[in-house]
Structure 1
Amino acid sequence: MPGSEYLRYVALGDSQTEGLGDGDETGGLRGWADRLADRLAETSPGLRYANLAVRGRLASQVHAEQLGPALALRPDLATVVAGVNDLLRPRFDADEVAGHLEAMFAELTAQGALVATLTFPDITRITPLARPAAPRAAALNQRIRAAALRHGVVVAETSHHAVVTDPRLWSRDRLHASPLGHERIAAAVAHALGLPGSGDDWTHPLPSPAAVPSGWRAAAVELRWAAAFLGPWLGRRLRGRSSGDGRTAKRPHLLPVAVLPAGNRPGGPVDGRGEPAGTA
Structure 2
Amino acid sequence: MVPEPLLPESGRRVYVALGDSFTEGVGDNSRRLPNGVRGWADRVAEKLAKAEPGWEYANLAVRSKRLRHIVADQLEPALAMEPALVTLYAGGNDILDFGTDVNVLLAEYEDLVAKLASTGAVLVLFTGYDVKVSAVLEPLKKRNAIYNQRVRELAMKYNAVLVDFWCFEAYHDPRMWAPDRLHMSKAGHKYMAAKVLDHLGVPHKITPKDWGPPDRLTLRDWERRQRRWMKDWVLPLFKRKLRGVTLGDSLQPRWPEPVRVPPKGGLKKLADQLVDQA
The superposition leaves residues 179-209 of structure 1 with CA deviations (integer Å, 9 ceiling, x where unpaired) of 111111111111121223479x65xx84311
Q: 2:162 aligns with which of 155, 177, 180?
A: 155
Residue equivalent to 2:259: 255
Residue equivalent to 1:32: 40
Residue equivalent to 1:84: 92
CA contact (8 A) 2:20 2:62 kept: yes
CA contact (8 A) 1:34 1:269 kept: no
Task: Measure, in 1, the Cα distance between the counterparts of 2:77 and 2:182.
Answer: 27
CA contact (8 A) 1:58 1:85 kept: yes
The Cα shift of 1:216 comes to 4.0
Identity of aligned residues (%): 35
What amino acid does structure 1 have at the position aligned with 2:270?
Answer: V
Q: Confirm or deny that 1:112 pairs with 2:115.
A: no
In structure 2, runs of 5+ residues without a counterpart are none
CA contact (8 A) 1:12 1:53 kept: yes
CA contact (8 A) 1:122 1:165 kept: no
The Cα shift of 1:42 comes to 1.7
What amino acid does structure 2 have at the position aligned with 1:235?
Answer: K
Q: Could you say if the C-alpha distance between residues 47 and 162 of structure 1 is closer, same or farther in structure 2, counting changes exceeding 3 Å?
A: same
Q: Could you say if the C-alpha distance between residues 49 and 241 of structure 1 is closer, same or farther in structure 2, counting changes exceeding 3 Å?
A: same
RMSD: 2.4
Residue equivalent to 1:3: 6
CA contact (8 A) 2:47 2:204 kept: no
The Cα shift of 1:3 comes to 3.1
Task: Measure, in 2, the Cα distance between the counterparts of 1:160 and 1:104.
Answer: 24
Q: Confirm or deny that 1:136 pairs with 2:143.
A: yes
The superposition leaves residues 153-203 of structure 1 with CA deviations (integer Å, 9 ceiling, x where unpaired) of 10111211221131111111111111111111111111121223479x65x
Task: Measure, in 1, the Cα distance between the counterparts of 2:77 and 2:89.
Answer: 16
What amino acid does structure 2 have at the position aligned with 1:270?
Answer: L
Task: Measure, in 1, the Cα distance between the counterparts of 2:15 and 2:29.
Answer: 21
CA contact (8 A) 1:80 1:101 kept: no
Residue equivalent to 2:106: 98
Residue equivalent to 1:274: 273
Residue equivalent to 1:190: 197
The superposition leaves residues 16-54 of structure 1 with CA deviations (integer Å, 9 ceiling, x where unpaired) of 211111124665321111011011112221100000011
Q: TM-score, normalised by structure 1?
A: 0.86
Task: Measure, in 2, the Cα distance between the counterparts of 1:82 and 1:269.
Answer: 29
Give the number of aligned pairs: 268
In structure 1, runs of 5+ residues without a counterpart are none
Task: Measure, in 2, the Cα distance between the counterparts of 1:3 and 1:197.
Answer: 15
Task: Measure, in 2, the Cα distance between the counterparts of 1:51 and 1:145.
Answer: 24
